[in-house]
Amino acid sequence: MAPRIGQSAPDFLAKDQHGENITLSQFRGKKVILYFYPKDSTPGCTAQACNLRDNYETLLEKGYVVLGISTDSEKRHQNFIAKNELPFSLISDPEHLVHDLYDTWQLKKFMGKEYMGTVRTTFVIDEEGTISDIIEKVKTKDHTAQIIA
């Protein structure tokens, strides 16, 4: 069942782009933007990441930590971060275990074909680990405005 606003955000253990363990609970006491996106270096995902990058200082001033997550490998994340000068960590979830916790791995349709994939979704989590907002209709080029609105 999908997490809802007002519920505790599911904790997880995964690897960041450097192969380091990362958990949601390590960010207790900070607000977290946990955004799920389909694939590194695609137009929409790049626009979303760059929008967050361009507004990163504002997000930091408001007390947010930004974490992106996709099923891409750690190496692919490293390349995406370097190419776009991203100042935040990306989580590698190739087995979509974290995606499953957040119900963002779903059946999708594209050009008449059905497949399983990431549904672009952002969870805003407060200092106590409670989900304060869920953004399902992400505007990739103006995502920060949706978060801090």
- The residues that are catalytic are 45
For residue 112, give every residue at least 6 positions away whose Cβ sits within 8 Å of its Cβ, in sequence order, or none.
none
15 φ, ψ (degrees, to nearest 5): -110, 140
> Do the Cβ atoms of 33 and 147 come closer than 8 Å?
yes
